[in-house]
Amino acid sequence: MRLTMPTTVIEGTRITVMPFRDNAVLGTVSLPALLQLVPSPRREEDQKSLKAASGHVRQHAEIRAQVQRTLKSTGKGKNATSYAEYIAGGINGEFGDAWSLPPITFWHADDVAAVSDELVPGTGLRNITIAPGATVVAVDGETQLTAWHDLFDDPEKFGLGYEQLAAVRIPFEMYVGLSSADARQVFHDRNVLGVDVSKNLSMSMDQRDLATRLAHRVAEAVKVEVDGKLIPFSKLVNASKRQVGKTDPEVVTLSALRALVVASVYGRSGLNLSSATIHEEDLPAGTGSEVVERTIVPLLAGLITEHLECFTSRSAITAPAVIAGLGVAVHQTTPWADSLNGLHADDLRALLADIRWEREASYWDGIAAKTGTTGRLNFSGGVKDSGGRVADAILYPATESGQKIRGHRA
């Protein structure tokens, strides 16, 4: 007896998708299915593993190399581990609803094995079947793809189980049937044409960063009268720039206000942490987020209120290095400061009372600013560069710099 071979059954991975171009679709896929469709970039770059791999895997690695950077040369391999930890935290509920992953962009080198009719007339929804061994490469989002492979290879390392991973669905977009040249162009456009988010704007959005949260709360706690109306000081804080422009309505940047917070919490060591993410476990010994918030928010809100005119006039107090140096002085009044250098609030108030906050070279040149060849005073010195000099001038009024910022030295 001879058996009749099937002629209409198409085997492969079937996925429900929504076309958005005649050669591109959007959809979601389970993690096990995804990892079957797209090999691990780590393994494809492991020469020992690659030598023992099947011809299909070696061919896939060759095609991937045409449209992707290597993990080792770009640092993506290291980033993938951090990405895996982030994903695991999201799956485990550590971030609540405040976590997100962008869709991975795939290139399916040939036509898909089969496309169904519309599942619901008029919607465009269809099933596509990806044949076993089809060449599917991530042209964007490969770090995330590597992270998913790392999670599935060793879920316990990241505090997960296979049951949790099996329930995950991953969003993707897929371009079908493009040439390798077109796929390279997609890679280029995704990685070059996009505008990166500035570090300051990114930091202002990071609500897991304790210093950013405290800076926002300080700004909300201060009230300012503008045109006869009381508004929160936060309306005068620019969250997206490193420096406030002449025509900007804001008077200080969020990054400068955050530097004030960090220096107030840590003192001088905070000058080197102004760009670092601050978590509760990073706080000084003997404190916690609640203690720090109860101390720092009213302390800094009161400080800004007392010097509100200096802030709204954009005096030197709003320059990053100056406000950070001020934070070092404020730190001495906190309960967790070194008792040998501790200050009472009235002592700090006395130290600040006669400081000349005007943006004039006679007070700030060589301490927080430099006078250029045109005679213009430039406060572009960073927190790390100048914050310590400012702190010394504030805390030690008898020194040359202390006398200078108080207008006592010619």
Give per-residue pLDDT as tens, 316-331.
999 999 999 999 999 9
Q: How many residues does the chain have?
A: 410
pLDDT of residue 55: 65
- Residue owning tokens 């309505």: 249
Distance CA 159, CA 165 (A): 11
Q: Which pair of tokens denotes residue 407?
A: 């207008």
What sections of 92-206 are H helices per DSSP?
Answer: 142-153, 162-166, 180-188, 199-205
Task: Taking the CA atoms of 127, 133, 134 and 137 in sequence, report the sign of the dihedral they define.
Answer: positive
What are residue 370's phi and psi, to 5 degrees?
-130, 145
Q: Are 164 and 31 in contact (CB under 8 A)?
A: no
pLDDT of residue 8: 64
Tell how many helices (H) and how many strands (E) occur in the chain: 19, 13
Q: Which pair of tokens denotes residue 90?
A: 């999201």
Amino acid letter, 393: A
182-218 pLDDT, tens digit each: 888 888 887 777 666 666 667 667 777 899 999 999 9
227-272 pLDDT, tens digit each: 888 889 999 988 877 777 778 888 898 989 999 999 999 999 999 9
Other residues' Cβ atoms within 10 Å of the Cβ of residue 376: 10
Tell me if residue 74 falls in helix, strand or coil: helix
Q: Which pLDDT band holds residue 73 (cuts at 50, 70, 90)?
A: low
Q: Are 214 and 301 in contact (CB under 8 A)?
A: no
What sections of 209-288 are H helices per DSSP?
Answer: 210-221, 254-266
Q: Which pLDDT band holds residue 74 (cuts at 50, 70, 90)?
A: low
**CA end-to-end span of the chain, whole Å?**
111
Q: Are 44 and 60 in contact (CB under 8 A)?
A: yes
Bridge partner list, 14:
129
Write down the pTM of the prediction.
0.71
Residue of 335, 344, 324, 318 lying closest to 391 (CA atoms): 324
What average pLDDT is seen over the chain?
Answer: 86
